[in-house]
Structure 1
Amino acid sequence: MKSKNGHQDSSPCVQGAQGSAADTPELSGTLLDDQHLLTVEDVCRVCAVRIEYIEELVEEGLITPQVEQVDALHAAKGHELQSWRFTGMHMRQARIAAHLQSDLGINLAGVALALQLLDEVEVLRMRVKAIDAT
Protein backbone atom coordinates (compact mmCIF):
# COMPACT_ATOMS: atom_id res chain seq x y z
CA MET A 1 0.00 0.00 0.00
CA LYS A 2 1.31 3.46 -0.82
CA SER A 3 1.48 6.18 1.78
CA LYS A 4 0.37 9.77 1.21
CA ASN A 5 3.82 10.69 -0.07
CA GLY A 6 3.77 7.91 -2.68
CA HIS A 7 6.28 5.61 -0.96
CA GLN A 8 5.59 1.99 -0.15
CA ASP A 9 4.35 1.80 3.44
CA SER A 10 5.73 -1.17 5.34
CA SER A 11 4.01 -0.60 8.70
CA PRO A 12 2.47 -3.74 10.17
CA CYS A 13 -0.89 -1.98 10.59
CA VAL A 14 -1.13 -1.20 6.91
CA GLN A 15 -0.05 -4.70 5.87
CA GLY A 16 -2.54 -6.23 8.28
CA ALA A 17 -5.28 -4.08 6.77
CA GLN A 18 -4.55 -5.50 3.31
CA GLY A 19 -4.79 -9.15 4.31
CA SER A 20 -7.91 -11.13 4.94
CA ALA A 21 -9.22 -11.95 8.38
CA ALA A 22 -7.58 -15.37 8.07
CA ASP A 23 -4.17 -13.68 7.63
CA THR A 24 -4.52 -11.62 10.80
CA PRO A 25 -3.19 -13.28 13.95
CA GLU A 26 -5.65 -13.59 16.79
CA LEU A 27 -4.89 -11.53 19.88
CA SER A 28 -5.97 -12.57 23.31
CA GLY A 29 -5.65 -11.02 26.73
CA THR A 30 -7.25 -10.41 30.05
CA LEU A 31 -9.00 -7.21 30.97
CA LEU A 32 -7.82 -6.15 34.38
CA ASP A 33 -9.92 -4.24 36.85
CA ASP A 34 -9.84 -3.61 40.57
CA GLN A 35 -11.08 -7.16 41.24
CA HIS A 36 -8.02 -8.84 39.68
CA LEU A 37 -5.02 -8.56 41.97
CA LEU A 38 -1.50 -8.95 40.62
CA THR A 39 1.74 -9.78 42.39
CA VAL A 40 4.76 -7.51 42.15
CA GLU A 41 6.31 -10.08 39.82
CA ASP A 42 3.27 -9.89 37.51
CA VAL A 43 3.51 -6.10 37.35
CA CYS A 44 7.26 -6.24 36.69
CA ARG A 45 6.80 -8.75 33.88
CA VAL A 46 4.00 -6.82 32.16
CA CYS A 47 5.71 -3.44 32.56
CA ALA A 48 9.18 -4.82 31.72
CA VAL A 49 10.74 -3.25 34.83
CA ARG A 50 12.77 -4.47 37.79
CA ILE A 51 11.25 -5.03 41.22
CA GLU A 52 13.38 -2.16 42.54
CA TYR A 53 11.56 0.20 40.18
CA ILE A 54 8.17 -0.83 41.56
CA GLU A 55 9.57 -0.41 45.09
CA GLU A 56 10.65 3.11 44.15
CA LEU A 57 7.18 3.96 42.80
CA VAL A 58 5.63 2.69 46.04
CA GLU A 59 8.13 4.58 48.22
CA GLU A 60 7.39 7.80 46.32
CA GLY A 61 3.64 7.25 46.68
CA LEU A 62 2.97 6.97 42.95
CA ILE A 63 1.24 3.64 43.46
CA THR A 64 -0.05 2.13 46.70
CA PRO A 65 -0.37 -1.65 46.73
CA GLN A 66 -2.83 -3.57 48.79
CA VAL A 67 -1.03 -5.64 51.40
CA GLU A 68 -2.05 -9.25 51.79
CA GLN A 69 -1.88 -10.65 55.31
CA VAL A 70 1.17 -12.84 55.85
CA ASP A 71 2.13 -15.03 58.75
CA ALA A 72 4.88 -14.06 61.21
CA LEU A 73 7.42 -16.28 59.42
CA HIS A 74 7.02 -14.31 56.17
CA ALA A 75 6.56 -10.89 57.77
CA ALA A 76 10.28 -10.04 57.47
CA LYS A 77 11.30 -7.16 55.19
CA GLY A 78 12.49 -9.56 52.50
CA HIS A 79 9.02 -11.04 52.18
CA GLU A 80 7.13 -7.73 52.32
CA LEU A 81 7.14 -7.41 48.52
CA GLN A 82 5.55 -10.83 48.17
CA SER A 83 2.53 -9.62 50.14
CA TRP A 84 1.95 -6.64 47.82
CA ARG A 85 -1.01 -6.89 45.44
CA PHE A 86 -1.71 -4.49 42.61
CA THR A 87 -4.81 -3.70 40.57
CA GLY A 88 -5.01 -3.12 36.85
CA MET A 89 -4.95 0.64 37.55
CA HIS A 90 -1.68 0.27 39.47
CA MET A 91 -0.20 -1.64 36.55
CA ARG A 92 -1.36 1.04 34.11
CA GLN A 93 0.24 3.75 36.24
CA ALA A 94 3.49 1.78 36.53
CA ARG A 95 3.62 1.34 32.74
CA ILE A 96 2.99 5.03 32.12
CA ALA A 97 5.61 5.96 34.72
CA ALA A 98 8.18 3.65 33.13
CA HIS A 99 7.50 5.08 29.66
CA LEU A 100 7.68 8.68 30.87
CA GLN A 101 11.01 8.03 32.53
CA SER A 102 12.62 5.89 29.85
CA ASP A 103 11.27 7.65 26.74
CA LEU A 104 11.14 11.25 27.93
CA GLY A 105 13.66 11.28 30.77
CA ILE A 106 11.16 12.68 33.26
CA ASN A 107 12.10 12.38 36.95
CA LEU A 108 9.76 10.84 39.53
CA ALA A 109 8.36 14.22 40.62
CA GLY A 110 7.46 14.94 37.00
CA VAL A 111 5.99 11.47 36.60
CA ALA A 112 3.84 12.02 39.72
CA LEU A 113 2.54 15.28 38.28
CA ALA A 114 1.86 13.72 34.88
CA LEU A 115 -0.06 10.83 36.46
CA GLN A 116 -2.12 13.25 38.55
CA LEU A 117 -2.95 15.34 35.48
CA LEU A 118 -3.86 12.25 33.46
CA ASP A 119 -6.23 11.19 36.26
CA GLU A 120 -7.82 14.65 36.26
CA VAL A 121 -8.24 14.53 32.47
CA GLU A 122 -9.98 11.16 32.81
CA VAL A 123 -12.38 12.55 35.45
CA LEU A 124 -13.15 15.54 33.22
CA ARG A 125 -13.79 13.26 30.23
CA MET A 126 -16.25 11.23 32.29
CA ARG A 127 -18.02 14.44 33.37
CA VAL A 128 -18.30 15.64 29.78
CA LYS A 129 -19.61 12.23 28.72
CA ALA A 130 -22.21 12.34 31.51
CA ILE A 131 -23.28 15.85 30.51
CA ASP A 132 -23.54 14.84 26.85
CA ALA A 133 -25.70 11.86 27.83
CA THR A 134 -28.30 14.10 29.51
Structure 2
Amino acid sequence: MKRYELIVDERRLLTIEELGRLVDVHPDLLQRFVVYGLIDPEIDKPCLLFADRAIVRIRKIQRLRGDLGLNLAGCGVVLDLLDRIDDLEREIHYLRSVF
Protein backbone atom coordinates (compact mmCIF):
# COMPACT_ATOMS: atom_id res chain seq x y z
CA MET A 1 0.00 0.00 0.00
CA LYS A 2 1.29 3.44 -0.89
CA ARG A 3 1.75 5.99 1.83
CA TYR A 4 0.79 9.53 0.91
CA GLU A 5 2.60 12.32 2.68
CA LEU A 6 0.72 15.14 1.04
CA ILE A 7 0.71 18.34 3.03
CA VAL A 8 -1.85 21.09 2.52
CA ASP A 9 -1.55 24.34 4.46
CA GLU A 10 1.16 22.69 6.60
CA ARG A 11 -1.25 19.98 7.75
CA ARG A 12 -0.71 16.34 6.96
CA LEU A 13 -3.56 14.62 5.17
CA LEU A 14 -4.71 11.23 6.41
CA THR A 15 -5.71 8.19 4.40
CA ILE A 16 -9.02 6.55 5.25
CA GLU A 17 -7.14 3.72 6.96
CA GLU A 18 -5.09 6.13 9.11
CA LEU A 19 -8.20 8.09 9.97
CA GLY A 20 -10.00 4.89 10.90
CA ARG A 21 -7.21 3.88 13.27
CA LEU A 22 -7.24 7.31 14.93
CA VAL A 23 -10.99 7.29 15.60
CA ASP A 24 -11.40 3.53 16.02
CA VAL A 25 -13.85 3.23 13.12
CA HIS A 26 -13.57 0.70 10.31
CA PRO A 27 -12.63 2.28 6.96
CA ASP A 28 -15.75 0.79 5.35
CA LEU A 29 -17.93 2.74 7.78
CA LEU A 30 -15.90 5.88 7.07
CA GLN A 31 -16.56 5.27 3.38
CA ARG A 32 -20.30 5.24 4.19
CA PHE A 33 -19.85 8.56 6.01
CA VAL A 34 -18.39 9.96 2.79
CA VAL A 35 -21.26 8.58 0.70
CA TYR A 36 -23.79 10.16 3.08
CA GLY A 37 -21.90 13.46 2.93
CA LEU A 38 -21.09 13.43 6.63
CA ILE A 39 -17.36 13.89 6.05
CA ASP A 40 -15.63 15.30 3.01
CA PRO A 41 -12.18 14.31 1.82
CA GLU A 42 -9.75 17.05 0.90
CA ILE A 43 -8.62 14.94 -2.06
CA ASP A 44 -10.53 12.07 -3.60
CA LYS A 45 -8.14 10.80 -6.29
CA PRO A 46 -6.10 8.62 -6.43
CA CYS A 47 -7.40 7.84 -2.93
CA LEU A 48 -9.41 9.58 -0.25
CA LEU A 49 -7.30 11.91 1.89
CA PHE A 50 -8.72 13.77 4.88
CA ALA A 51 -7.66 16.80 6.89
CA ASP A 52 -7.29 16.32 10.63
CA ARG A 53 -10.49 18.30 11.24
CA ALA A 54 -12.37 15.19 10.04
CA ILE A 55 -11.49 13.64 13.41
CA VAL A 56 -13.65 16.17 15.26
CA ARG A 57 -16.51 15.62 12.84
CA ILE A 58 -16.32 11.85 13.22
CA ARG A 59 -16.34 12.20 17.01
CA LYS A 60 -19.58 14.21 16.69
CA ILE A 61 -21.06 11.49 14.49
CA GLN A 62 -20.07 8.85 17.04
CA ARG A 63 -21.77 10.83 19.83
CA LEU A 64 -24.93 11.36 17.77
CA ARG A 65 -25.13 7.67 16.92
CA GLY A 66 -24.17 6.36 20.35
CA ASP A 67 -25.88 8.83 22.67
CA LEU A 68 -28.96 9.71 20.62
CA GLY A 69 -29.25 6.56 18.51
CA LEU A 70 -29.45 8.51 15.27
CA ASN A 71 -28.99 6.83 11.91
CA LEU A 72 -26.59 8.29 9.35
CA ALA A 73 -29.28 10.38 7.65
CA GLY A 74 -30.27 11.84 11.04
CA CYS A 75 -26.63 12.59 11.78
CA GLY A 76 -26.45 14.48 8.50
CA VAL A 77 -29.42 16.68 9.42
CA VAL A 78 -28.04 17.45 12.88
CA LEU A 79 -24.53 18.18 11.54
CA ASP A 80 -25.97 20.52 8.91
CA LEU A 81 -27.91 22.38 11.59
CA LEU A 82 -24.85 22.61 13.84
CA ASP A 83 -22.79 23.97 10.94
CA ARG A 84 -25.49 26.54 10.21
CA ILE A 85 -25.58 27.61 13.88
CA ASP A 86 -21.78 28.03 13.85
CA ASP A 87 -22.01 30.17 10.71
CA LEU A 88 -24.73 32.36 12.22
CA GLU A 89 -22.80 32.80 15.47
CA ARG A 90 -19.71 33.89 13.52
CA GLU A 91 -21.82 36.33 11.54
CA ILE A 92 -23.38 37.77 14.71
CA HIS A 93 -19.95 38.13 16.30
CA TYR A 94 -18.65 39.92 13.20
CA LEU A 95 -21.65 42.26 13.00
CA ARG A 96 -21.34 43.14 16.68
CA SER A 97 -17.67 43.98 16.24
CA VAL A 98 -18.36 46.21 13.21
CA PHE A 99 -21.40 48.08 14.50
Alignment TM class, shorter chain as reference: 0.7 to 0.9
Identify if the C-alpha distance between structure 1 residues 103 and 90 changes in structure 2 by more than 3 Å, giving closer, same or farther.
Answer: same
Unaligned segments of structure 2, at least 5 residues: 1-7
- Using the TM superposition, give the Cα deviation of residue 67 of structure 1 relative to its aligned residue in structure 2, in angstroms: 1.7
Give the TM-score of the pair, scaled to structure 1: 0.58
Q: Which amino acid aligns with 1:39?
A: T
Of Structure 1 and Structure 2, the greater strand share is in: 2
Instruction: Give the alignment of 1:111-122 within 5 angstroms.
Output: 111-122=75-86
Instruction: Give the alignment of 1:1-134 within 5 angstroms.
Output: 35=9, 36=11, 37-65=13-41, 66-69=43-46, 83-134=47-98
Greater C-alpha Rg: 1
Q: Which amino acid aligns with 1:60?
A: Y
Q: Which amino acid aligns with 2:44?
A: V
Give the TM-score of the pair, scaled to structure 2: 0.76
Instruction: State the identity as a percent.
Output: 30
CA RMSD of aligned residues (A): 1.7
Unaligned segments of structure 1, at least 5 residues: 1-33, 70-82
Moved over 6 A (4+): none
